[in-house]
Amino acid sequence: MNIIKKSLSNIDVSDIFFDSLRNDYPNFNEWFLRKKKENYYAYVTMDKNNKLLSFLMLKEENYQELNDVVKKFDLVNKKFLKVSTFKVSYTGNGIGNKYLNIIDVTAKKVGACLIYITIYPKLKAFIEFLKCHGYIVAGNYNKELVLVKKVQD
């Protein structure tokens, strides 16, 4: 299964793939459309009918944009990579591992010192998957856990 980099302008926010995200984040559609206007892109996999099977979106941030949990690392004047959205609906095919590799490579490429993701505690299997790949729980932000991973040189 090929991962392709696709502009959000070429992705349909009404796709049922995003239903679980809409359920967890009531303003998901508005957020997506805002990111679309800002020319964001995502890494995706699609089935033979061009329906989404996975979606990864990343965002470079500076210290001022961080939430309080990540700010406690006191890495002022550094760059950070936020995993904005990471969803794989078709599991067991290695896409999650490939996405982790994309995240690591991107973090190094942009000069980030830390990668972070916020995630609901109910997603236990996904949290364990991330922990197995070097992420640690750094705290809570709103109702989500914040997992971080230091970027290795």
Q: Give the number of residues written for the chain.
A: 153
pLDDT at 13: 94
**What is the separation of C-alpha 37 from the centre of its chain, rounded to a whole number of angstroms?**
19
Q: What is the mean pLDDT of the chain?
A: 92
3-state secondary structure of 93: coil
pLDDT, one tens digit per residue, over 55-67 is: 999 999 887 777 7
- Does the pLDDT of residue 153 top 70, yes or no? no
Give the number of other Cβ atoms within 10 Å of residue 9's Cβ.
10
- For the sheet with 41-46, list strands across it: 4-7, 41-46, 52-62, 79-88, 112-119, 144-150, 136-141
